[in-house]
């Protein structure tokens, strides 16, 4: 098996995602965790672009890396004190965290090793924009108009909640 440029780019992006994921969950400052999460989302968008899924890559950048991360940062700044740090885990919580991590890793390895993957050949490409648009805003089976509206109401409720929290101070 030869090493191709696609493989090198994938490995660099995968290493980038793994490093910033570990930094995201191990940092003691919550604002830094949100920043590291932003880098993880950028890396995920890079993998989408490498697979030639330009629509998903653009959605990843605009919605997740842009909008959701900004909402996280605003909510952190609204509800946390200045320079607030995350508490260290002590005693039984640390043991429970280790057991949960080992169990999660074991389940992931078990599923990955027992799965018979369909085809080793990946076909590049994506659906045309018209098909994606009809799937997103259609109201029939396997179309996503209702979840899209529910998410917009949830985001509106989060904004109103953030304003109410900010007004109490």
Among 56, 55, 3, 45, which Cα is nearest to 20's? 45
Torsion of CA 9, 14, 16, 22, to 10 degrees: -170
Residue 32: count other Cβ atoms within 10 Å of its Cβ: 12
98 Cα distance to chain centroid: 23
pLDDT at 102: 93
Query: Which residue shows structure tokens 């992006």?
Result: 13
Q: Which stretches of the chain score pLDDT less than 50?
A: none
Among 67, 70, 65, which Cα is nearest to 31's? 70
pLDDT at 44: 93
- Locate 167 and state its tokens: 């007004």
Q: Please give the Cα distance from 75 to 16 (Å, whole number).
A: 26
pLDDT at 43: 94
pLDDT at 71: 75
Q: Please give the Cα distance from 56 to 48 (Å, whole number).
A: 6
pLDDT at 20: 94
């Amino acid at each position: 098996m030869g090493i191709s440029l696609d493989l090198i780019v994938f490995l660099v992006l995968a290493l980038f995602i793994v490093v910033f994921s570990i930094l995201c969950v191990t940092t003691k400052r919550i604002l830094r965790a949100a920043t590291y999460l932003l880098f993880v989302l950028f890396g995920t968008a890079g993998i989408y672009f490498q697979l030639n899924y330009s629509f998903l890559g653009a959605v990843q950048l605009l919605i997740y890396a842009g909008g959701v991360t900004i909402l996280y940062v605003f909510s952190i700044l609204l509800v946390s004190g200045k320079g607030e740090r995350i508490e260290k885990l002590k005693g039984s919580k640390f043991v429970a965290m280790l057991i949960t991590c080992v169990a999660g890793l074991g389940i992931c390895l078990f599923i990955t090793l027992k799965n018979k993957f369909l085809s080793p050949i990946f076909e590049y490409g994506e659906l045309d924009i018209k098909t994606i648009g009809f799937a997103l805003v259609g109201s029939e089976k396997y179309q996503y108009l209702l979840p899209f509206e529910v998410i917009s109401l949830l985001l509106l409720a989060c904004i109103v909640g953030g304003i109410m929290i900010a007004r109490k101070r």
